[in-house]
Amino acid sequence: MMIKKYVFGNPYETGATVLPVEPAGGIPERFRFAAETGTFSYTMKEKDLVFGLGETVRGINKRGWIYVSNNADDPEHNENRISLYASQNFLLVDDGTECFGVFVDNPGSVTFDIGYTDPDVLSIHPEYNDTSFYVIEGETPAGIVGTFRELIGKSYVPPVWAFGYGQSRWGYKTAEDIREVAAGYKALGIPLDMIYMDIDYMQDFKDFTVNPERFPEFADFVREMKAEGIRLIPIIDAGVKMETGYDVYEEGKAKGYFCKKENGEDLVAAVWPGKVHFPDFLNREASDWFGDKYQVLTDAGIEGFWNDMNEPAIFYTEDHLKEVFAQIKEFEQKELDIWGFFEFKDVVGSIANHPEDYRRFYHKFHGQKVRHDRVHNLYGFYMTKSAAESFARNCPEKKILLFSRASYTGMHRYGGVWTGDNCSRWSHLLMNIQMMPGLNMNGFLYSGADIGGFGGNTTEDLMLRWVAFGIFTPLFRNHSALGTREQELYRFERKEDFKHLIELRYALIPYIYREFLKAAETNGMYMMPLWFAYREDERCREVEDQLLVGDALMIAPVYEQNKTGRYVYLPESMRMLRFRAYNDYDSEVLPAGDHYVKAALNEVLVFLRPGCELPLATPARHVEQIDEKQLTRIIFAKP
């Protein structure tokens, strides 16, 4: 058997897996288990590489850091972070001759210490050890990934138009703002398929409402934009505003569908709308009820959504705020020395996303009362599942675009992910590149980052380089935060260059879509580390800034400021294509080995593998206008 399952305690039915596996007895093969601490450990061989964990900081090889699966609303994605928005608990260990995979199905907090405490030891420690621990055997990394993906089920495939380019920004307040964005792209003939609607479209940030003054006749507006070839993609947040008369609030309250505290009262937290209750997506009935609400928008012609703040993010809870105020009063009476001052600062800083708050509320999960922290990482997954199931129920004829910020393994069957609030930093472009293989391994094929960076002010050169990489990520969305520099592509100086880049994406869509579907159908990876394909080449162990995209291509993005080229390692001879536009490129066959290659700000490096061909379409302004029959083919015959 390729998959061995070991059961500890009483694991929850998380829905991560779809394949029934009979548990084996004893301790997971290759691991030691310290029952007193509940820690599994494996001594890493010198040459072991560790891949996986999906949306996490640092390199493709995860060795040398500690990661905690504990979905967190944290926009500061620096190298010292241990948790981001997602928990994707699959790892693959490979020394080049022997490899195995591990999947830890436990929806509470799980620590993966991959050589942080002891450089040679990989240890896995679930906070509550009610765990299904899987060990997956196989001959090759790709084979193990395939077996793991059979275990967790097929990946979500979005509608084909979702492979187009999307423009987003927090701050499009009116229909007029959105028309302006569409017009900005149209005037320059830059392809565009989606405009995202952030929280500004809602009435007082209430889910499933549309502000009637700023978006009058919403269904007409959706139709008008669609006639322009553009789909509007609204955001839905997890928290439901507490407001008398608001149907979602009133119904949820009356039916008992919100998460409750120990004393049976609904938890009061605050997010964008002010005070909110959290729907209990883990409760089957509540999930169906909330899912059905999306119909208000699908009925108005909406065909895609992004689910947000579903870790869930908590600005504060009423209970903890009271505690903080009480403590502040105490501090007010004291003469603060410097340590007292730091204590005070910590108290004030503890208001948002306070760990204790995640232990204050409960779910009704499979009919049982379960404290939130034990199943924390399922919340965003179940919100997204609730939406996806409702689409299957209510509009099965439509294909809906759906992705989420928080996720857990298993959610990949229902939607994609974006990687949350990154920043306009060069290091975050590299992070985007390095996150993609881990996301793919965990089944999250439809994924991508906020291109250009969400927080902070982007620059034109960063934007050019980020778009040049984003061309290859299935989710291709430019998004930025309120108050930051506006980064719609038509606002920059080098408008033609941006146009050519986006057109190149559209020319590549037949290839991208085909390779994406292949990965989804065969449980493969759309974006892979070089090592997975060139395991006999020791050099490929350390290639962390080049990726394989589908079966035919390798990419080598430029991700540093003021660079006019970069070093590239070729494990075998490849045809290098240096695109300035889909119909303007240099082509050169390079031998295996190291090369310094030029890549100006408007150029994209693509490497065609031997025996492969790259189909290119003539770009269109919208995906559905691409003529799949009229393809030019660039070929690199096996030398």
Annotated active-site positions, please? Answer: 308, 311, 421
Beta partners for residue 483, in sequence order: none
Q: How far is the CB of 446 from ligand GLC (least distance, A)?
A: 17
Which lies closer to ligand GLC via its Cβ, residue 421 or residue 545?
A: 421
320-352: b (≥16 Cβ within 10 Å) or e: bbeebeeeeeeeeeeeeeeeeeeebeebeebbb
Q: Is residue 209 a contact residue for ligand GLC (CB under 6 A)?
A: no
Q: How far is the CB of 63 from ligand GLC (least distance, A)?
A: 29
Residue count, binding to ligand GLC (CB under 6 A):
9
| Distance between CA atoms of residues 501 and 191, nearest Å | 10
Q: How far is the CB of 198 from ligand GLC (least distance, A)?
A: 5
DSSP at 294: T
Which lies closer to ligand GLC via its Cβ, residue 271 or residue 552?
A: 271
SS3 629: coil
CB 570, CB 606: distance < 8 Å: no
Q: What is the 3-state secondary structure (H, E, C) of 582-601?
A: CCEEEEEEECCEEEEEECCC
Site for ligand GLC in 526-555 (CB under 6 A): none
Q: Is residue 421 a contact residue for ligand GLC (CB under 6 A)?
A: yes
Site for ligand GLC in 384-413 (CB under 6 A): 405
Q: Please give the structure tokens belonging to residue 608.
A: 């065609």
Nearest to 604, CA basis, from 469, 495, 435:
469
CB 68, CB 27: distance < 8 Å: no
Q: Token pair 């089944």 is at which residue?
A: 443
Contact characters 128-167, ligand GLC, x per CB under 6 A? ----------------------------------------
Q: How far is the CB of 185 from ligand GLC (least distance, A)?
A: 20
- Could you tell me which residues come within 8 angstroms of residue 370 by beta carbon, excluding any fewer than 6 positions away? 12, 282, 362, 363, 364
Q: Applying CB under 6 A, which of residues 55, 308, 373, 488 lies at the interface with ligand GLC?
A: 308
Residue nearest to ligand GLC (CB): 170
| Burial (Cβ within 10 Å: 0-12, 13-18, ≥19) of residue 144 | buried
Task: For 254-318, list the strands marked E by DSSP.
Answer: 260-261, 269-271, 274-277, 304-308, 316-317
Which lies closer to ligand GLC via its Cβ, residue 198 or residue 497?
A: 198
Q: Is residue 170 a contact residue for ligand GLC (CB under 6 A)?
A: yes
| Distance between CA atoms of residues 427 and 444, nearest Å | 22
Q: Is residue 420 a contact residue for ligand GLC (CB under 6 A)?
A: yes
| Distance between CA atoms of residues 289 and 249, nearest Å | 12
- Could you tell me which residues come within 8 angstroms of residue 413 by beta carbon, excluding any fewer than 6 positions away? 18, 152, 153, 154, 155, 156, 443
Nearest to 113, CA basis, from 71, 152, 56, 35:
56
Which H or E run includes 69? Answer: strand 65-69
| Distance between CA atoms of residues 65 and 148, nearest Å | 24
Which lies closer to ligand GLC via its Cβ, residue 94 or residue 308?
A: 308
| Distance between CA atoms of residues 109 and 117, nearest Å | 18
Q: How far is the CB of 444 from ligand GLC (least distance, A)?
A: 17
**How are beta strands 90-94 and 49-52 bridged, if at all?**
antiparallel
Q: How far is the CB of 80 from ligand GLC (least distance, A)?
A: 20
Q: Is residue 304 a contact residue for ligand GLC (CB under 6 A)?
A: no
Q: Is residue 311 a contact residue for ligand GLC (CB under 6 A)?
A: no
Q: Is residue 239 a contact residue for ligand GLC (CB under 6 A)?
A: no
Q: Applying CB under 6 A, which of residues 198, 207, 303, 515 lies at the interface with ligand GLC?
A: 198
Q: How far is the CB of 423 from ligand GLC (least distance, A)?
A: 12
| Distance between CA atoms of residues 275 and 272, nearest Å | 8
Q: Is residue 199 a contact residue for ligand GLC (CB under 6 A)?
A: yes
Which lies closer to ligand GLC via its Cβ, residue 198 or residue 207?
A: 198
Q: Token pair 């990520």 is at which residue?
A: 473
Which lies closer to ligand GLC via its Cβ, residue 235 or residue 375?
A: 235
Contact characters 350-389, ligand GLC, x per CB under 6 A? ----------------------------------------
Q: How far is the CB of 196 from ligand GLC (least distance, A)?
A: 9
Q: Token pair 């009229």 is at which residue?
A: 630
Which lies closer to ligand GLC via its Cβ, residue 363 or residue 405?
A: 405
CB 135, CB 508: distance < 8 Å: no
Which lies closer to ligand GLC via its Cβ, residue 481 or residue 599?
A: 481
Helices (H), 174-276: 175-188, 218-227, 247-255
Which lies closer to ligand GLC via its Cβ, residue 415 or residue 510?
A: 415
Q: How far is the CB of 485 from ligand GLC (least distance, A)?
A: 15
Site for ligand GLC in 61-120 (CB under 6 A): none
Q: Is residue 485 a contact residue for ligand GLC (CB under 6 A)?
A: no
Sites of contact with ligand GLC (CB under 6 A): 170, 198-199, 235, 308, 405, 420-421, 479
